[in-house]
Amino acid sequence: MITIVLLLISPLAQAFTLDDLQKQLSEPAVVKGPFIQEKHLRALPQPLLSKGRFVLARDHGLLWLLETPLRQDYRIDASGIARRDPSGWQTLPSHSAGAQQNRLFFAVLQGDSSGLQRDFELSLSGDATHWQLRLTPRSLLLRQVFARIDISGGRFVERIELSETQGDSTVLRLPESSGAPALSDAERSDFAD
């Protein structure tokens, strides 16, 4: 009888929690890799495709380096969002829709469940190697923009899908993310400027 009880309790004790996910995603000091972003608009037959690479540094922020269809570099950190132009990094207005979406990506990639819980109801399923997280907006403002956000991954975030209330969606794939112990000199310089 005790064995049966232990077998029934064991899966509950081993459940993969939001705290486990946050710990797993924030464990490497640096995560980097390529990204592919598809913007599906109701008015267009084909998605808008952009590609680039990202660098997420736990103690510094996020570099979002767009390579196609045009080159554009963004930096997201505690001071806000900046875009690189020929004269250096320029801070962007913090209330734009793009700025809010970039902050959301930053929180997701960091596994910042406490930050996400302020704005979304979180529903996690799966385990450490194959998990899915659904974010359902809490506030009226966010519900006007997003129907839901679905995130999935393993050791790192692999896919983010933002479903908008008007029928458009954005799918972000991070197919080959890897951890690193530290930033390169060039990446460190980008965060320092």
Is 1 a residue whose pLDDT tops 50?
no
pTM: 0.82
In the chain, the percentage of residues whose pLDDT exceeds 70 is 84
pLDDT at residue 129, rounded to an integer: 95
Q: Are 157 and 107 in contact (CB under 8 A)?
A: no
d(CA 3, CA 6): 5
pLDDT at residue 95, rounded to an integer: 64
The pair of structure tokens assigned to 122 is 């979180």
pLDDT at residue 93, rounded to an integer: 80
CB 134: neighbour CB atoms within 10 A?
16
CA-based nearest residue to 112, from 146, 78, 145: 78
pLDDT tens for 23-77 read: 898 889 999 999 999 999 999 999 999 999 999 998 888 999 999 999 999 998 8
pLDDT tens for 79-123 read: 788 999 999 999 888 665 555 666 666 677 666 777 788 888 999
**Omega within 30 of 0 (cis) for the link into 69:** yes
CB 27: neighbour CB atoms within 10 A?
13
Bridge partners of residue 74, in order along the sequence: 64, 83
Q: Are 75 and 81 in contact (CB under 8 A)?
A: yes
What is the rounded end-to-end Cα distance, in angstroms, of the chain? 64
CA separation, residue 75 to residues 2, 64, 90 (Å) = 55, 6, 10
Q: Are 64 and 73 in contact (CB under 8 A)?
A: yes
Is 78 a residue whose pLDDT tops 90?
no
Q: Which domains does the chain have, with CATH numbers?
A: 17-192 (2.50.20.10)
- Strand intervals (E) in 61-175: 61-68, 72-77, 80-85, 88-91, 120-126, 131-137, 146-153, 157-164, 169-173
Which amino acid appears at position 49 of this protein?
A: L
pLDDT at residue 105, rounded to an integer: 65
Average of per-residue pLDDT across 166-174: 94
Is 20 a residue whose pLDDT tops 60?
yes
